[in-house]
Amino acid sequence: MTISVALSGATGRMGGLIQQIIDETEGLRLHALLDSKSPATAMDGADVLIDVTRIEVSEQLVGHAITNGINVVVGTSGWNADRLEQLADRIPAERGVIVVPNFSIGSVLSTNLATIAGRFYDSIEILEAHHAGKIDSPSGTAVRTAERIAAAREDALEAPFGEQRARGEVVAGIPVHSLRLRGVVADQQVIFGGVGETLTIRHETLSSDAYAQGIRLALEAAPELRGLTVGLDALLGIGAAA
Ligand SMILES: NC(=O)C1=CN([C@@H]2O[C@H](COP(=O)(O)OP(=O)(O)OC[C@H]3O[C@@H](n4cnc5c(N)ncnc54)[C@H](OP(=O)(O)O)[C@@H]3O)[C@@H](O)[C@H]2O)C=CC1
Ligand SMILES: O=C(O)C1=N[C@H](C(=O)O)C[C@H](O)C1
């Protein structure tokens, strides 16, 4: 069976990569390319929408897709725990949406490792760096990592400071520090402080090629998915820790 794919965010960095993957992958076919000038109806008739835009747009496009018989792969960042909870309630029984905070396999593994480590430390901070063209912060991966760490712990984390702006944005009790720099693709360090030790779990994306395997995996699985799936974990056979 050939899966026909509509791509929103087609003119962006990720859009270019995804077009190339669809072109090169047997069993995937391009149905429509959407950018900021396209009506949502341009996706109609596709088997799957893959969305790499920005959060406000993503919410609208996903809404259109699931009410018009189209399953969705979301790569757009900004789908935090609150938004995911609301989305889960909106998905009709016969539709599926997979929201993937990071398509890189190494990133999925590093979030899982950080989730395990987070149970053993009370002092945790995240430092993420991305290319200068990234418009959002903190990154979706950092938010998901913080939320996963917090959910896997028995007791809640509390950032040990008040309104000191230089100490980062607090997500689920964990300070997240964002850098936006020329020369960087994506880099995340989760740093754990213990008694007489620190542990750092670091993942570096050196090229956007790192996303290709995960994008293919999500697109090929998407038609059969039902309800909400978050992350590539289940597709990779990793039981999500939280
Ligand atoms: N999950 C993952 O592994 C990854 C996720 N991302 C995320 O993917 C998203 C896109 O990243 P990137 O490709 O770098 O971003 P770009 O800024 O390069 O591209 C953004 C795309 O969104 C489109 N867009 C913007 N506004 C609208 C709108 N109002 N309606 C419809 N389309 C719109 C743009 O169209 P136009 O040209 O017409 O403005 C463009 O095609 C971000 O959220 C990013 O964080 C990025 C890398 C990996
Ligand atoms: O915009 C990016 O580049 C990326 N965005 C995602 C995020 O916000 O986590 C995934 C990856 O880090 C690259």
How close is the Cα of 134 to the center of ligand 2, in Å? 8
- Residue 204, both tokens: 């570096």
CA dihedral 42, 65, 35, 7 (to 10 degrees): -90
Assign 3-state DSSP to the chain and report helix, strand, coil percentages, each to 5: 35, 25, 35
> What residues does ligand 2 touch, defined as CB less than 6 Å away?
77, 101-102, 130, 134, 139-141, 186
Answer yes or no: CATH 3.30.360.10 is held by domain 105-206: yes
Closest residue by Cα to atom 32, ligand 1, is 36
Q: For 3-99+209-236, CATH number?
A: 3.40.50.720
pLDDT in tens, the chain (242 residues): 899 999 999 999 999 999 999 999 999 999 999 999 999 999 999 999 999 999 999 999 999 999 999 999 999 999 999 999 999 999 999 999 999 999 999 999 999 999 999 999 999 999 999 999 999 999 999 999 999 999 999 999 988 788 888 999 999 999 999 999 999 999 999 999 999 999 999 999 999 999 999 999 999 999 999 999 999 999 999 975 44
How close is the Cα of 11 to the center of ligand 1, in Å? 8
Mutate to test the pocket of ligand 2, among 73, 137, 141, 147 (most ligand atoms within 8 A of CB): 141
- Domain boundaries of the chain, sorted by first residue: 3-99+209-236, 105-206
The pTM assigned to this predicted structure is 0.97
Closest residue by Cα to atom 47, ligand 1, is 14
DSSP state, residue 77 = S
> What residues does ligand 1 touch, defined as CB less than 6 Å away?
8-15, 35-37, 52-54, 57, 75-77, 100-103, 136, 140, 211
Find out whether the peptide bond into 138 is cis, omega within 30 degrees of 0. Answer: yes
In this prediction, the answer to ipTM > 0.90 reads yes
